[in-house]
Structure 1
């Protein structure tokens, strides 16, 4: 009986140690892959009169008209009918704090490779990574410094790097296969 209890205790200790070590290893690796939350890029306003929208090709592509909202409360009867309803006062949206704002000063360009896609916002004197998506069966790593960003896609022994540098001039992107 005592021998069986010792075996069970040894098994529990070994299993607990293995689970703890595995969790610590995965946590350490995953902590290095955290990304900033995605940000919405502004859409440049084009002259609305210059481009006419194309009609949908098929009826299934048409969007349904917006539904009308019904008033939640009946209108008051004690006010005269000739008085227009009060107009809502416009509210100014809160200005974002300087620490949380990122300005898009350049051009967003996408680079497709065998390993995946990397999208950069290329400014005049710097660049930022908008997104990086590995292809099916590929994994990805990202390195960032003050003057360059490297996105590496890997699958087995195959490696594809998208390297964006701007330390000695405007940003430039190089793609290498290793």
Structure 2
């Protein structure tokens, strides 16, 4: 009986030490991580009713198998500065728009996911980008453009927002 009690006590001490060490490690890592709260954007019924159609240049606006002139050419592809990868839930089905203090918010739904931009008069901001189920995502940002690329196997869908020579312009290309 005494021998069994010693084994249980040793097991409890080892388990307690392991849990404490694990908690301390996770706590140390998480304490140095900064989280930004998600931005909620207002969407009204009138905004969604007027924005039912796909944005110009979307995959639905071109015949299947055709490429976007800007997304398919190597010269138009931006350099690859430290892309961020993530995966997430599938995008919503309809494009939305809502006013904000800095401009107008536009969502671009594609086969690979959804990209939402806040389009100002002279620049743009990426509000969110959500890949579809089974798709991954990369985001590139510079002072004059933002590119969101959704990829799955050999399929690529790119949402490219530029504003270097005028107001922001968004192109969606499949390649």
TM bucket by the smaller chain?
0.3 to 0.5
Structure with bigger gyration radius: 1
Tell me the TM-score normalized by structure 1.
Answer: 0.45
Structure having greater relative contact order (Cα 8 Å, sep ≥ 6): 2
TM-score (norm 2): 0.45
